[in-house]
């Protein structure tokens, strides 16, 4: 199942459309790189998860991943690029691991291949997709 854009955020534009527009913005030369990197990331999500429902919304140029089509639902994973060939990840810690409310884990990688691994780990560790068979399969395939 392709990454689904939150229906409340932008009814006229898909997530891909948002990043396509971002890469065309000539006000800052970095936008093109960010747009291209995030489009590659979304394509990777779509190839990796054929059945899993993942909802996304944008916050500035960040991609926020949720389990529900509700803009104010709890977020579980945030992915960001800043135009320097890096993917930045942040995910919420689960209640049994967090030392305080809204504690997060952050990380960065410079490759899309590692970004896929980070995504799988973040989805698992955040607890947002608990008992998801497809996620468990992808984790096993990647020895994670």
Q: Looking at residue 55, what is its pLDDT?
A: 96
What pTM was estimated for this model as a whole?
Answer: 0.93
Task: Average the pLDDT over 72-101 and give the result.
Answer: 94
- Integer Cα distance of 66 and 129 in angstroms: 9
What average pLDDT is seen over the chain?
A: 93
The full DSSP string for 33-50 is HHHHHHHHHHHHHHHH-S
- Integer Cα distance of 49 and 120 in angstroms: 10
Asked if 69 and 53 count as a contact pair (C-beta separation under 8 A), the reply is no
- Integer Cα distance of 84 and 122 in angstroms: 21
Q: Which residue, chain included where needed, has tokens 């529900």?
A: 68
- Integer Cα distance of 104 and 122 in angstroms: 10
Give the ranges where the chain is alpha helix by DSSP (H). 15-24, 30-48, 112-126, 133-141
Over the range 126-144, which residues count as b (16 or more CB within 10 Å of their CB) and which as e? bbbbeebeebeebbeeeee
pLDDT level of residue 83 (50, 70, 90 thresholds): confident
Task: Average the pLDDT over 12-17 and give the result.
Answer: 86
The full set of domain ranges for the chain reads: 4-141
Task: Average the pLDDT over 80-92 and give the result.
Answer: 92
Q: Looking at residue 88, what is its pLDDT?
A: 97
Task: Average the pLDDT over 52-70 and give the result.
Answer: 94
pLDDT level of residue 103 (50, 70, 90 thresholds): very high
């Amino acid at each position: 199942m392709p990454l689904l854009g939150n229906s409340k955020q932008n009814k006229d534009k898909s997530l891909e459309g948002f990043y396509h527009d971002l890469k065309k913005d000539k006000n800052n030369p970095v936008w093109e790189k960010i747009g291209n990197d995030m489009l590659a990331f979304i394509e990777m999500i779509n190839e990796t998860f054929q059945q899993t429902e993942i909802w996304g919304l944008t916050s500035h140029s960040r991609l926020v991943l949720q389990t529900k089509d509700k803009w104010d639902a709890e977020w579980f994973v945030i992915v960001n690029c800043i135009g320097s060939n890096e993917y930045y990840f942040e995910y919420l810690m689960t209640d049994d691991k967090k030392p305080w409310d809204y504690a997060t884990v952050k990380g960065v990688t410079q490759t899309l291949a590692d970004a896929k691994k980070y995504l799988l780990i973040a989805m698992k560790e955040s607890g947002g997709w608990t008992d998801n068979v497809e996620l468990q399969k992808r984790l096993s395939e990647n020895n994670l």
